[in-house]
Structure formats: C-alpha cells, structure tokens
Amino acid sequence: MTDTFPLADLGWAPDFLRQLTLDEIATLTPCRISAVHRNRIEALCPTGPLSLLPPAGLSTAEIAVGDWGLCDCGLSDGPRLLRLLTRRSTLARRAAGTGADRQLIAANVDTLFIVTSCNADFNPARIERYLALARAAAVAPVLVLTKADIPPDPAAWQDRAAAIDRRVPVVPLDARAPGDSLSDWCRPGQTVALLGSSGVGKTTLANALTGEVQATAAIREDDAKGRHTTTGRHLHRLAQGGWLIDTPGMRELRLSDAGAGIAATFDDLDALAGACRFADCNHQTEPGCAVQAAIGAGTVDPARLARWQKLRREDRINSETLAEAHARDRAFGKRTRAALRDKSRLRGT
C-alpha cells in the first residue's frame, strides 16, 4: 500500500475546489480528515498522512471524520488546519440529554449501506428509520441484505426489502465474501458507511471490503496518542478504491432533525396529507382525511401509516430542545393532574 493519495481518490470533487480562492489554491493543501482528537487532527493529503494543529477559533468538536479542509504546511510550529470546506453530507446526532447539542459522526459520506440480515433482524420500521436518517443527512441509501447464503429463501427477503422503497437499491450478499456486488458504490473517490443492528455482519462486511482485519471487540478511543496507521483510525481504505468511515458514533445514530428525510421516505403519505381538509389532520377520524380515504380504497397500508406517525413522533421528541422537553413535561403533568382531579370528582372523593 502506498502512502500517497491522489486528491480524486480521496473524494475531492469540483464542488470542493470551487470553494477555494486563487490564493488558497496557490498556497494551501487540501486534506481529508481521518481522525479527530481533542487537540490534534489526523488527515490524509496527496503527499501522505499528516498530524495537524486545529484551526484557531474552531473547536475540534466542529470537525468530523470525512471533512475536507485546507492546511498550511509551511508554518514553523508544524502543519495547521486553517479551515473546513462546506460539506456535501453530514451525519450527526443529538448528544444524549443535552438538548440541542449536535455531535458530528461523519462528513461527506456518499453512500450509507443499511445492513440487515435475511432473518428475524429484518424489520421494515427500522429500515424506514435508517432511510429517513440517510436522506436527512443527504447520503444516498443502499439496502444490504446479509446472510443471503443461508437458506431457506433469500429471494423472498429481497422482495420484501424492495417493497419498502422502490427507489433504493437492494443487494443480497454473503458478508464474508461480497465479491464485487457493492462495486457500484465502493470505488475510487467514493465514501461509504455502514449502519445496522448488532450481529447483522457490519464488521464482517467491513473486513471483507477493506481487506483489513478489525477486532470485533470495541476499540479503545482515548489511547491513540502517538499511534499512527497509514489511513488513520476511522477512515479505512477500501480494497476496490474509495473509503469506509467507521466512527464509534455510527453505531449509535438515532433519528433527530430528520423531518425532511421522513417526508422523502414517506413521500406518498406526505403528498396525500397535503390533500386533507385540515392542515393539522392527524389522519385518524377527521373528516376529509385523504390518507384515511386511501386506506379505505386499499391503496395505502394502514401499518405503513402507523410507522410513519411513529417515526414523526420519535423525530419530534428527539429533535426538541431541552426547553421544549421541559414545556412538554409540564403540559403532560398538568393534563395528568387535571385527569386525576376529574377522576376523583367522578368518584365523589
């Protein structure tokens, strides 16, 4: 393996180049972030891996693996990242319990492999949640069905997966030997990430695609000082060209701020809702509900409506700020107390 990385192989594209001034083109070096530590950033640039000082005035919490940046390699105190370029896509999550804080998981991912198995793990609601998440992040989703080598009937799972969203490619495979089944997305300049529940074969597939052998045990996060591998710890080179981003946060992604992604995943229901008589229709018993009419006519599956509504509730709750959550709790407490008062009044106590 060579230690140099032509820009195009790293994922450099015209929409990044357009963000540079002529002066920056002449004096600075584009680099792709491969690991982010508290006071230090690892990056890959055409001449090889670099350890960079963070930009003045920018917290490393605002930098993600996969980000493109510009570094100045001519400084006396060592190379420094000067600024980040605008991302094509951002995978982020709300930091648990802290309200609006966003934690960056990965940047500039082109394709999200949503991994599920041809067995009891297969769950349409979970797949739709991941589709919404991918679309909210501006990443193209692909459904990967692992364990397709295990009988009885992988083709049936493929049909079920295709029925969830006809626009999304479905690829059944054996994660231990994917061959070139994912080569449309795993090629020079492309960046992919894997998402799926535990046990579906993400590590197995990552190992097969990278040719690396990753321990299945968790990697310790804070002991990386001084350790350097050619490709950094979270940006892995794919055997067929391209990159796999595998940050610990990928495993804990959940839905938040995904309204647009949910609308895109359920665009049929979203369009119908626009035709309801009431703008705030709940699609239950309201008169003039276009969604219920479609269910009556047999063109919409009521289970799909239930999954859509559940995802929207989940997204709303996960997206609200701490102040909104408190307001919701207060309103709930008020309603509960009022209900209890009514109940005791009825009982005459």
Ligand X SMILES: Nc1nc2c(ncn2[C@@H]2O[C@H](COP(=O)(O)OP(=O)(O)O)[C@@H](O)[C@H]2O)c(=O)[nH]1
Q: Are 311 and 133 in contact (CB under 8 A)?
A: no
User: Which residue, 90 or 117, is less far from ligand X as judged by CB?
Assistant: 117
Residue 250 CB neighbour total at 10 angstroms? 21
Q: Is the peptide bond before 152 cis (omega within 30 degrees of 0)?
A: yes
Q: Are 328 and 103 in contact (CB under 8 A)?
A: no
Residues 326-345 contacting ligand X, CB under 6 A:
none
Under rule CB under 6 A, residue 121 binds ligand X: no
Q: Select from 102-110, 199-207, 219-227, 316-324 the region that touches Mg ion (CB under 5 A).
A: 199-207
Q: Any residues with CB less than 8 A from the CB of 74 and at least 6 apart, and which?
A: 27
Residue 267 contact among Mg ion, ligand X, none, beta carbon within 5 to 8 Å by kind: none
User: 170 has which bridge partners?
Assistant: 143
Residue 94 contact among ligand X, Mg ion, none, beta carbon within 5 to 8 Å by kind: none
Under rule CB under 6 A, residue 165 binds ligand X: no
Under rule CB under 5 A, residue 203 binds Mg ion: yes
Residue nearest to ligand X (CB): 201
Q: Select from 141-149, 265-273, 286-294, 325-333 the region that touches ligand X (CB under 6 A).
A: 141-149
C-alpha span between 20 and 37 (Å, rounded): 26
Under rule CB under 6 A, residue 236 binds ligand X: no
Under rule CB under 5 A, residue 29 binds Mg ion: no
Q: How far is the CB of 270 from ligand X (least distance, A)?
A: 32
C-alpha span between 224 and 227 (Å, rounded): 5
Q: Which of 17, 96, 150, 162 binds ligand X (CB under 6 A)?
A: 150
Q: How far apart are the first and last CA of the chain?
A: 80
User: Which residue, 191 or 203, is less far from Mg ion as judged by CB?
Assistant: 203
Under rule CB under 5 A, residue 247 binds Mg ion: no
Q: How many CA atoms lie within 13 A of 137 on its CB side?
A: 30
C-alpha span between 31 and 51 (Å, rounded): 11
Q: Are 67 and 84 in contact (CB under 8 A)?
A: yes
User: Which residue, 215 or 346, is less far from ligand X as judged by CB?
Assistant: 215
Question: How many residues sit in the footprint of ligand X (CB under 6 A)?
Answer: 16
Residues 174-233 contacting ligand X, CB under 6 A:
174-176, 196, 198-204, 216
Query: Cα angle at 81 between 75 and 85, to 5 degrees?
Result: 140
Structure tokens at 241: 């060209």
Q: How far is the CB of 93 from ligand X (least distance, A)?
A: 19
Under rule CB under 6 A, residue 171 binds ligand X: no
Residues that bind ligand X (CB under 6 A): 146-147, 149-150, 174-176, 196, 198-204, 216
